Chain A
């Protein structure tokens, strides 16, 4: 064969081999820890947990009173997710509980502080959700700290009695409001109900039942039935992101970010419903070159990103991709989990035991989502 022809042939072979190596090597590199997370590797879990424990310890009362370091929903969700993630680890590794449970309570108590719910009080024109428990306004955002408090009560024998009394009163108000709702929805803000937030309400009620050994079965059964009949888009299986609490009229599209988080919360209350929602989220996973991402909108719908979904790029949602990690775990879908984890690894920038891009809220969410399972209702 002519030398020049041999060179071209060698170049072609070299390009093909290089492409094959990158196609195999890059997904392997980004996903090589996925199996360990899926298998509940204690070292991985403890490493990320320790980072968040350190964050929670450093974030003392003085830092939070400034008001500008954390704001509204971000601060609430960060502390809530730290509490949930650490509580899940206490359930999975009881030997860790004596060390982690006090931090669970600390994080949950922070998420319940009045300044954390200022954004909700403002939205309700000055009505504080905890000062109006006898009222009919939903204040469903309070389900996030309520769920965190419930998990803290579940794992921490030294949980303060005064907080427990407030928690009991809040859950009782949620139960009464949810039982009175014909749509299975209660409002988060005036005129706005989010099925995801109501899933958090159901989760809070369910965990309260586990802690206090009281039965909330009637309200949870009614909620699950209403989710299936009112809140889920039949074609996609996704929940509608925002609805009218009174009529159940959709105010938004069926979306994966809301459904992913709703599936995680539903797991605390109703395993079967959680699996249905998780399956719908996993169906939204789109995989390219071994990397998975979640399409935000159901087929036939389109829209932009917002505070719930994060940026929506080429139809793919950043938040939904993260939330889907818990859905893939619940669905026992190792392929989907691995593909999603590779994307999280690629863009999350692992740095030691945590991820450098998302900051405290990103790491808190990942801890809760990557360790989900022990909290799921029997």
Chain B
């Protein structure tokens, strides 16, 4: 029963975990230096990581709550709709 209730949220949980991992990696690699150096040189690895982190951050802040709230509301209304 618990697995059946948790299963719909597994996908979003994985997205959140991936975001956390990518963010930690970016912060560690950037080491306080940001994505652009003063000389205008750009580290491609860092830029890809930064963009990935920002895209995942946007997904975690927008898409994840949308999906979670939608599924919770549908779960709560199940008795009424069945």
Give the interface of A toward B (CB within 8 A).
Answer: 3, 6-7, 10-11, 13-15, 17-19, 21-22, 25-26, 29-30, 51, 55, 68-72, 74-75, 78, 346-347, 349, 351, 354, 356-363
Give the docked Cα–Cα distance between A17 and B69 (Å).
7
Which A residues lie within 8 Å of B38 (CB)?
A: 69-72, 74-75, 78, 361
Whether the pair B32, A346 counts as a contact (CB closer than 8 A) is no
Is residue B3 contacting chain A, with contact meaning CB distance below 8 A?
no
Q: Which of B18-62 contact A (CB under 8 A)?
A: 23, 26-27, 30, 32-40, 50, 53-54, 57-58, 61-62
Are A346 and B69 neighbours in the complex by a CB distance under 8 Å? no
Contact of A18 among B23, B54, B58, B65 (CB under 8 A): B65
CB-nearest residue of chain A relative to B82? A3
Is there an interface contact between A360 and B33, defined as CB atoms closer than 8 Å?
yes
B17 within 8 A of A: no
In the complex, the answer to whether A19 meets B34 with C-beta atoms within 8 Å is: no
Q: Is the interface of B mostly helix, strand, loop or mixed?
A: helix
Closest chain A residue, CB of each to CB of B71: A14
Contact status A347-B54, CB under 8 Å: yes
For this complex, into which size category does the number of interface residues on chain B fall?
A: 20 to 34
Contacts A351-B27, A360-B33; A10 near B69 (Cβ below 8 A) = no
Q: CA of A337 to CA of B69 in the docked complex: distance in angstroms?
A: 29
Count CB-based A-B contacts (< 8 Å): 96
Report the separation of the CA atoms of residues A21 and B68 in the bound assembly, to the nearest whole angstrom.
10
Taking the nearest CB of chain B, how far is it from the CB of A321, in angstroms? Answer: 15
Residues of A within 8 A of B65 (CB): 18, 21-22, 25-26
A10 to B39, CA, bound (A): 55
Please state if A360 and B53 are interface contacts (CB–CB under 8 Å). Answer: no
**Which A residues are in CB contact (< 8 Å) with B81?**
3, 6-7, 10
B57 in contact with A346 (CB, 8 Å): yes
Residue picked from B23, B32, B37, B53, most chain A C-beta under 10 Å: B32
Given contacts A10-B81, A11-B74, A356-B27, contact A18 B69 (CB under 8 A): yes
Given contacts A51-B32, A356-B27, A359-B33, contact A71 B39 (CB under 8 A): yes
In the complex, which residues of chain A have a beta carbon less than 8 angstroms from the beta carbon of B23?
Answer: 349, 351
- How far is B39's CA from A69's CA once the two chains are assembled, in angstroms? 7
> Which residues of B are found within 8 Å of A10, using beta-carbon distances?
73-74, 77, 80-81
28 contacts between A and B (CB under 8 A): A3-B81, A3-B82, A10-B73, A10-B81, A13-B73, A17-B69, A17-B73, A18-B70, A21-B66, A21-B69, A22-B62, A26-B61, A30-B61, A55-B32, A68-B39, A74-B39, A346-B57, A351-B23, A351-B27, A354-B32, A356-B27, A356-B32, A356-B34, A357-B35, A359-B35, A359-B36, A361-B34, A361-B38
